[in-house]
Structure 1
Amino acid sequence: MTDRDFIPVRIAVLTVSDSRSLADDRSGDTLVARLEGAGHILAARAIVTDERAEIAAQLRIWIADPGVDVVISTGGTGLTGRDVTVEAHHEVYEKEITAFSTVFTIVSMQKIGTSAVQSRACAGVAGGTYLFALPGSPGACKDAWDEILVKQLDYRHKPCNFVEIFPRLEEHKRRK
Protein backbone atom coordinates (compact mmCIF):
# COMPACT_ATOMS: atom_id res chain seq x y z
CA MET A 1 0.00 0.00 0.00
CA THR A 2 1.20 3.51 -0.75
CA ASP A 3 0.69 6.74 1.09
CA ARG A 4 0.21 8.66 -2.15
CA ASP A 5 -2.94 9.20 -4.21
CA PHE A 6 -2.95 8.45 -7.93
CA ILE A 7 -2.50 11.53 -10.15
CA PRO A 8 -3.86 11.14 -13.69
CA VAL A 9 -1.49 12.35 -16.39
CA ARG A 10 -2.66 13.94 -19.66
CA ILE A 11 -1.10 11.95 -22.49
CA ALA A 12 -1.08 12.62 -26.24
CA VAL A 13 -0.55 9.69 -28.62
CA LEU A 14 1.16 10.30 -31.96
CA THR A 15 1.31 7.58 -34.61
CA VAL A 16 3.96 8.06 -37.28
CA SER A 17 3.01 6.19 -40.43
CA ASP A 18 2.63 6.63 -44.17
CA SER A 19 -0.10 4.00 -44.31
CA ARG A 20 -2.16 4.01 -41.09
CA SER A 21 -5.43 5.73 -40.31
CA LEU A 22 -7.33 5.88 -37.02
CA ALA A 23 -9.39 2.92 -38.27
CA ASP A 24 -6.37 0.59 -38.41
CA ASP A 25 -3.89 2.14 -35.97
CA ARG A 26 -3.33 -0.91 -33.74
CA SER A 27 -0.28 0.53 -31.96
CA GLY A 28 -2.05 3.80 -31.16
CA ASP A 29 -5.10 1.84 -30.02
CA THR A 30 -2.88 -0.27 -27.76
CA LEU A 31 -1.42 2.82 -26.10
CA VAL A 32 -4.81 4.50 -25.68
CA ALA A 33 -6.33 1.38 -24.11
CA ARG A 34 -3.43 1.02 -21.70
CA LEU A 35 -3.17 4.65 -20.63
CA GLU A 36 -6.92 4.95 -20.10
CA GLY A 37 -7.00 1.58 -18.35
CA ALA A 38 -4.38 2.89 -15.93
CA GLY A 39 -6.55 5.93 -15.14
CA HIS A 40 -4.74 8.52 -17.27
CA ILE A 41 -6.36 10.98 -19.68
CA LEU A 42 -6.04 10.85 -23.46
CA ALA A 43 -5.27 14.53 -24.11
CA ALA A 44 -4.95 14.26 -27.89
CA ARG A 45 -4.30 11.80 -30.68
CA ALA A 46 -2.93 12.28 -34.18
CA ILE A 47 -1.37 10.45 -37.10
CA VAL A 48 1.40 12.08 -39.14
CA THR A 49 3.46 10.79 -42.04
CA ASP A 50 7.09 9.77 -41.76
CA GLU A 51 8.33 13.31 -42.36
CA ARG A 52 10.78 14.76 -39.86
CA ALA A 53 9.42 18.32 -40.07
CA GLU A 54 5.81 17.15 -39.66
CA ILE A 55 6.68 14.98 -36.64
CA ALA A 56 8.70 17.76 -34.97
CA ALA A 57 5.93 20.30 -35.65
CA GLN A 58 3.31 18.09 -33.96
CA LEU A 59 5.62 17.50 -31.00
CA ARG A 60 6.13 21.27 -30.64
CA ILE A 61 2.37 21.89 -30.72
CA TRP A 62 1.84 19.46 -27.86
CA ILE A 63 4.89 20.69 -25.93
CA ALA A 64 3.36 24.19 -26.01
CA ASP A 65 -0.08 22.90 -24.94
CA PRO A 66 -0.58 23.14 -21.15
CA GLY A 67 -3.18 20.37 -21.47
CA VAL A 68 -0.51 17.81 -22.48
CA ASP A 69 1.92 16.41 -19.91
CA VAL A 70 3.32 13.49 -21.92
CA VAL A 71 3.61 12.60 -25.61
CA ILE A 72 4.04 9.00 -26.66
CA SER A 73 4.80 8.44 -30.33
CA THR A 74 4.75 5.08 -32.05
CA GLY A 75 6.46 4.30 -35.35
CA GLY A 76 9.51 5.45 -37.23
CA THR A 77 12.17 4.32 -34.74
CA GLY A 78 13.81 1.71 -36.96
CA LEU A 79 16.73 1.86 -39.36
CA THR A 80 15.14 2.38 -42.76
CA GLY A 81 15.35 5.59 -44.74
CA ARG A 82 11.79 6.62 -43.80
CA ASP A 83 12.42 6.11 -40.06
CA VAL A 84 12.96 9.70 -38.88
CA THR A 85 10.95 9.87 -35.64
CA VAL A 86 14.07 9.69 -33.47
CA GLU A 87 15.67 12.57 -35.34
CA ALA A 88 12.48 14.64 -34.96
CA HIS A 89 12.39 13.90 -31.23
CA HIS A 90 16.05 14.85 -30.79
CA GLU A 91 15.34 18.10 -32.62
CA VAL A 92 12.92 19.20 -29.87
CA TYR A 93 14.48 17.68 -26.73
CA GLU A 94 15.94 19.97 -24.11
CA LYS A 95 17.21 16.90 -22.22
CA GLU A 96 17.37 13.29 -23.32
CA ILE A 97 16.38 10.51 -20.91
CA THR A 98 19.13 8.17 -22.09
CA ALA A 99 18.36 5.35 -19.67
CA PHE A 100 14.92 4.89 -21.27
CA SER A 101 16.54 3.46 -24.41
CA THR A 102 18.64 1.10 -22.33
CA VAL A 103 15.75 -0.13 -20.21
CA PHE A 104 13.54 -0.53 -23.30
CA THR A 105 16.27 -2.62 -24.95
CA ILE A 106 16.52 -4.85 -21.87
CA VAL A 107 12.74 -5.34 -21.85
CA SER A 108 12.74 -6.04 -25.61
CA MET A 109 15.60 -8.53 -25.36
CA GLN A 110 13.46 -10.66 -23.06
CA LYS A 111 10.69 -10.72 -25.71
CA ILE A 112 12.41 -10.68 -29.10
CA GLY A 113 16.06 -11.49 -28.37
CA THR A 114 18.76 -9.78 -30.35
CA SER A 115 16.20 -8.25 -32.76
CA ALA A 116 15.89 -5.57 -30.05
CA VAL A 117 19.09 -4.05 -31.41
CA GLN A 118 17.10 -2.69 -34.39
CA SER A 119 15.01 -0.30 -32.28
CA ARG A 120 16.05 3.26 -31.59
CA ALA A 121 13.35 3.95 -28.98
CA CYS A 122 14.18 7.11 -27.07
CA ALA A 123 12.82 9.63 -24.58
CA GLY A 124 13.38 13.19 -23.50
CA VAL A 125 11.93 16.33 -21.96
CA ALA A 126 11.03 19.65 -23.57
CA GLY A 127 8.99 22.53 -22.20
CA GLY A 128 8.09 20.52 -19.12
CA THR A 129 6.63 17.73 -21.29
CA TYR A 130 7.89 14.15 -21.36
CA LEU A 131 8.35 12.70 -24.86
CA PHE A 132 8.67 8.98 -25.63
CA ALA A 133 9.33 7.48 -29.07
CA LEU A 134 8.33 3.82 -29.34
CA PRO A 135 8.51 1.34 -32.22
CA GLY A 136 5.42 0.95 -34.40
CA SER A 137 4.37 -2.52 -33.32
CA PRO A 138 1.58 -3.20 -30.82
CA GLY A 139 3.91 -5.63 -29.01
CA ALA A 140 6.59 -2.99 -28.52
CA CYS A 141 3.96 -0.50 -27.29
CA LYS A 142 2.65 -3.09 -24.80
CA ASP A 143 6.17 -3.85 -23.58
CA ALA A 144 7.11 -0.17 -23.14
CA TRP A 145 3.85 0.61 -21.35
CA ASP A 146 3.57 -2.52 -19.20
CA GLU A 147 7.21 -2.69 -18.14
CA ILE A 148 8.26 0.97 -17.94
CA LEU A 149 5.70 3.71 -18.48
CA VAL A 150 2.85 2.38 -16.35
CA LYS A 151 5.21 2.57 -13.38
CA GLN A 152 7.10 5.76 -14.18
CA LEU A 153 3.87 7.65 -14.94
CA ASP A 154 2.33 6.58 -11.62
CA TYR A 155 2.91 9.01 -8.75
CA ARG A 156 2.57 6.13 -6.28
CA HIS A 157 5.57 4.25 -7.73
CA LYS A 158 8.59 4.25 -5.45
CA PRO A 159 11.41 4.95 -4.99
CA CYS A 160 10.89 7.55 -7.74
CA ASN A 161 8.82 8.32 -10.83
CA PHE A 162 8.44 10.91 -13.59
CA VAL A 163 5.25 12.40 -12.12
CA GLU A 164 6.79 13.56 -8.86
CA ILE A 165 9.33 15.72 -10.68
CA PHE A 166 6.86 17.43 -13.05
CA PRO A 167 6.96 20.63 -10.95
CA ARG A 168 10.75 20.75 -11.21
CA LEU A 169 11.18 20.15 -14.95
CA GLU A 170 11.25 23.87 -15.64
CA GLU A 171 12.68 25.20 -12.40
CA HIS A 172 15.56 26.74 -14.34
CA LYS A 173 13.07 29.27 -15.77
CA ARG A 174 12.06 30.64 -12.38
CA ARG A 175 13.47 33.95 -11.22
CA LYS A 176 16.17 33.69 -8.64
Structure 2
Amino acid sequence: MPRPDLSRFYPLQLAVLTVSDSRSSANDSSGDLLCQLVQSAGHQLVARALLANNKYQLRATLSQWIASDNIQVVLLNGGTGFAAGNCTVEALTPLFDNEVPGFGELFRQLSFNELGSAALQSGALAGLANGTLLFAMPGSAGACTLAMQQLILPQLDGHTGPCNFVAHLKNSPTSSCGA
Protein backbone atom coordinates (compact mmCIF):
# COMPACT_ATOMS: atom_id res chain seq x y z
CA MET A 1 0.00 0.00 0.00
CA PRO A 2 1.42 3.46 -0.81
CA ARG A 3 2.33 5.68 2.10
CA PRO A 4 0.71 9.07 2.71
CA ASP A 5 2.43 12.09 1.20
CA LEU A 6 4.30 13.46 4.24
CA SER A 7 5.06 16.69 2.39
CA ARG A 8 1.38 17.76 2.53
CA PHE A 9 -0.87 19.12 5.22
CA TYR A 10 -4.45 17.86 5.03
CA PRO A 11 -6.96 20.09 6.83
CA LEU A 12 -9.37 17.93 8.81
CA GLN A 13 -12.93 18.55 9.98
CA LEU A 14 -13.24 18.52 13.76
CA ALA A 15 -15.91 18.81 16.43
CA VAL A 16 -15.45 19.90 20.04
CA LEU A 17 -17.61 18.60 22.88
CA THR A 18 -17.34 19.94 26.42
CA VAL A 19 -18.79 17.72 29.13
CA SER A 20 -19.63 19.70 32.26
CA ASP A 21 -22.35 20.26 34.81
CA SER A 22 -21.00 23.71 35.69
CA ARG A 23 -19.86 25.31 32.42
CA SER A 24 -21.94 27.31 29.97
CA SER A 25 -21.18 28.67 26.52
CA ALA A 26 -20.22 31.92 28.24
CA ASN A 27 -17.48 30.35 30.40
CA ASP A 28 -16.34 27.26 28.48
CA SER A 29 -12.69 28.34 28.43
CA SER A 30 -11.31 24.87 27.67
CA GLY A 31 -13.75 24.41 24.80
CA ASP A 32 -12.75 27.84 23.50
CA LEU A 33 -9.08 26.84 23.79
CA LEU A 34 -9.61 23.61 21.83
CA CYS A 35 -11.45 25.49 19.07
CA GLN A 36 -8.66 28.06 18.86
CA LEU A 37 -5.94 25.38 18.71
CA VAL A 38 -7.81 23.43 16.02
CA GLN A 39 -8.26 26.49 13.83
CA SER A 40 -4.72 27.80 14.42
CA ALA A 41 -3.39 24.44 13.25
CA GLY A 42 -5.27 24.86 9.96
CA HIS A 43 -8.16 22.49 10.59
CA GLN A 44 -11.86 23.29 10.25
CA LEU A 45 -14.21 23.41 13.23
CA VAL A 46 -17.54 22.04 11.97
CA ALA A 47 -19.45 21.39 15.21
CA ARG A 48 -19.36 22.33 18.87
CA ALA A 49 -21.52 21.34 21.82
CA LEU A 50 -21.62 21.56 25.59
CA LEU A 51 -23.46 18.78 27.41
CA ALA A 52 -24.03 17.80 31.03
CA ASN A 53 -22.72 14.53 32.44
CA ASN A 54 -25.39 12.25 31.00
CA LYS A 55 -23.96 9.22 29.24
CA TYR A 56 -27.04 8.71 27.06
CA GLN A 57 -27.09 12.30 25.80
CA LEU A 58 -23.34 12.08 25.20
CA ARG A 59 -23.73 8.82 23.26
CA ALA A 60 -26.58 10.28 21.18
CA THR A 61 -24.55 13.34 20.16
CA LEU A 62 -21.38 11.33 19.57
CA SER A 63 -23.26 8.71 17.54
CA GLN A 64 -24.62 11.44 15.26
CA TRP A 65 -21.14 12.89 14.81
CA ILE A 66 -19.59 9.46 14.20
CA ALA A 67 -22.25 8.72 11.56
CA SER A 68 -21.77 12.13 9.92
CA ASP A 69 -19.75 12.31 6.72
CA ASN A 70 -18.25 15.67 7.61
CA ILE A 71 -16.72 15.04 11.07
CA GLN A 72 -13.38 13.22 11.07
CA VAL A 73 -12.17 13.99 14.61
CA VAL A 74 -13.99 14.69 17.88
CA LEU A 75 -12.26 16.37 20.82
CA LEU A 76 -13.98 15.86 24.18
CA ASN A 77 -12.97 17.71 27.31
CA GLY A 78 -14.29 17.10 30.80
CA GLY A 79 -15.94 14.27 32.66
CA THR A 80 -12.92 11.94 32.55
CA GLY A 81 -11.93 11.91 36.22
CA PHE A 82 -13.22 10.10 39.28
CA ALA A 83 -15.54 12.89 40.44
CA ALA A 84 -19.08 11.81 41.24
CA GLY A 85 -21.29 11.97 38.17
CA ASN A 86 -18.52 11.98 35.57
CA CYS A 87 -19.43 9.65 32.73
CA THR A 88 -17.39 10.53 29.63
CA VAL A 89 -15.35 7.31 29.73
CA GLU A 90 -18.45 5.14 30.24
CA ALA A 91 -20.33 6.97 27.46
CA LEU A 92 -17.51 6.83 24.94
CA THR A 93 -15.95 3.37 25.36
CA PRO A 94 -18.83 1.29 23.89
CA LEU A 95 -18.78 3.41 20.72
CA PHE A 96 -15.20 2.51 19.74
CA ASP A 97 -14.41 0.09 16.93
CA ASN A 98 -10.76 0.25 18.02
CA GLU A 99 -9.25 1.85 21.10
CA VAL A 100 -6.01 3.84 20.84
CA PRO A 101 -4.44 2.84 24.18
CA GLY A 102 -1.27 4.85 23.62
CA PHE A 103 -3.10 8.16 23.98
CA GLY A 104 -4.25 7.58 27.56
CA GLU A 105 -0.96 5.96 28.52
CA LEU A 106 1.16 8.82 27.16
CA PHE A 107 -1.20 11.50 28.48
CA ARG A 108 -0.94 10.09 32.01
CA GLN A 109 2.84 9.80 31.69
CA LEU A 110 3.16 13.43 30.59
CA SER A 111 0.68 14.52 33.28
CA PHE A 112 2.69 12.69 35.93
CA ASN A 113 5.58 15.08 35.25
CA GLU A 114 3.31 17.98 36.24
CA LEU A 115 0.87 16.45 38.74
CA GLY A 116 2.64 13.50 40.28
CA SER A 117 0.51 10.54 41.32
CA ALA A 118 -2.74 12.48 40.75
CA ALA A 119 -2.26 11.61 37.05
CA LEU A 120 -3.53 8.12 37.94
CA GLN A 121 -7.03 9.55 38.22
CA SER A 122 -7.19 10.67 34.60
CA GLY A 123 -9.46 8.63 32.38
CA ALA A 124 -8.07 10.20 29.19
CA LEU A 125 -8.71 7.87 26.26
CA ALA A 126 -9.00 7.73 22.48
CA GLY A 127 -10.36 5.47 19.81
CA LEU A 128 -11.70 5.11 16.30
CA ALA A 129 -15.37 4.65 15.41
CA ASN A 130 -16.58 4.55 11.80
CA GLY A 131 -13.44 6.31 10.61
CA THR A 132 -13.87 9.06 13.21
CA LEU A 133 -11.07 9.60 15.72
CA LEU A 134 -12.23 10.54 19.21
CA PHE A 135 -10.03 11.95 21.98
CA ALA A 136 -11.31 12.43 25.54
CA MET A 137 -9.21 14.55 27.90
CA PRO A 138 -9.70 16.26 31.25
CA GLY A 139 -11.47 19.61 31.22
CA SER A 140 -8.70 21.84 32.58
CA ALA A 141 -7.00 24.22 30.19
CA GLY A 142 -3.62 22.80 31.19
CA ALA A 143 -4.70 19.24 30.37
CA CYS A 144 -6.21 20.31 27.04
CA THR A 145 -3.06 22.22 26.10
CA LEU A 146 -0.83 19.28 27.04
CA ALA A 147 -2.94 16.76 25.10
CA MET A 148 -3.31 18.95 22.03
CA GLN A 149 0.24 20.22 21.71
CA GLN A 150 2.17 17.10 22.61
CA LEU A 151 -0.09 14.29 21.36
CA ILE A 152 -3.13 15.16 19.28
CA LEU A 153 -2.11 17.92 16.88
CA PRO A 154 1.08 16.16 15.74
CA GLN A 155 -0.97 13.06 14.92
CA LEU A 156 -3.53 15.11 12.97
CA ASP A 157 -0.81 16.47 10.71
CA GLY A 158 -0.01 14.57 7.52
CA HIS A 159 3.60 15.78 7.83
CA THR A 160 4.17 13.62 10.93
CA GLY A 161 6.09 10.47 10.09
CA PRO A 162 6.48 7.64 9.99
CA CYS A 163 2.72 7.50 10.73
CA ASN A 164 -0.16 9.73 11.71
CA PHE A 165 -3.91 9.29 12.00
CA VAL A 166 -4.82 11.23 8.86
CA ALA A 167 -4.69 8.09 6.72
CA HIS A 168 -7.13 6.25 9.01
CA LEU A 169 -9.95 8.79 8.90
CA LYS A 170 -13.08 8.67 6.78
CA ASN A 171 -12.90 10.74 3.61
CA SER A 172 -9.11 10.88 3.97
CA PRO A 173 -7.17 11.84 0.84
CA THR A 174 -4.32 9.53 1.90
CA SER A 175 -3.89 5.81 2.16
CA SER A 176 -2.99 3.85 5.27
CA CYS A 177 0.49 3.85 6.81
CA GLY A 178 2.49 0.70 6.22
CA ALA A 179 4.36 0.78 9.53
Whether the TM-score (by the shorter chain) exceeds 0.5 is yes
- Distance in 2 separating the partners of 1:111 and 1:143: 10
Partner of 2:42: 39
Tell me the residue number matched to 2:56: 53
Residue 85 (structure 1) aligned to one of 88, 99, 108: 88
User: Contact 2:131/2:168 (CA < 8 Å) preserved in 1?
Assistant: no
Distance 1:18 1:6 in 2: 37
Write the deviation string for residues 86-118 of structure 1: whole angstroms up to 9, x where unpaired: 011112111111111101111111222221111
Q: Is the 8 A contact 1:6 1:154 kept in 2?
A: yes
Q: Does 1:22 align with 2:25?
A: yes
Structure 2: runs of 5 or more not aligned = 173-179
For 2:152, the equivalent position in structure 1 comes to 149
Distance 2:28 2:137 in 1: 14
Identify the structure with the greater helix proportion.
Answer: 1
The 1-side partners of 2:119 and 2:9 are apart by 32
2:103 pairs with one of 100, 103, 106: 100
Evaluate the alpha carbon distance shift between residue 139 and residue 122 of structure 1 in structure 2; reply closer, same or farther with a 3 A threshold: same
Equivalent residue number for residue 4 of structure 1: 7
The normalised TM-score by structure 1 is 0.91
Higher relative CO (CA 8 A, sep ≥ 6), structure 1 or 2? 2
| 2-structure distance, mates of 1:19, 1:145 | 23
Offset, 1:165: 2.6
Identity among equivalent positions (%) equals 43
Are 2:153 and 1:133 equivalent residues in the alignment? no
Aligned length: 168
For residues 35 and 124 of structure 2, what CA distance do their matches in structure 1 show? Answer: 18
Partner SS, residue 50 of structure 1 = coil
Is 2:169 the counterpart of 1:166? yes
- How many Å apart are 1:10 and its aligned residue? 0.6
Structure 1 segments unaligned to the other structure (5+ residues) = 170-176
Root mean square deviation, CA, Å: 1.6
Determine whether 1:74 maps to 2:89: no
1:56 and 1:91 in contact (8 A); partners too: no
Moved more, 160-169 or 65-74: 160-169
Q: Classify the secondary structure of the residue corresponding to 1:141.
A: helix
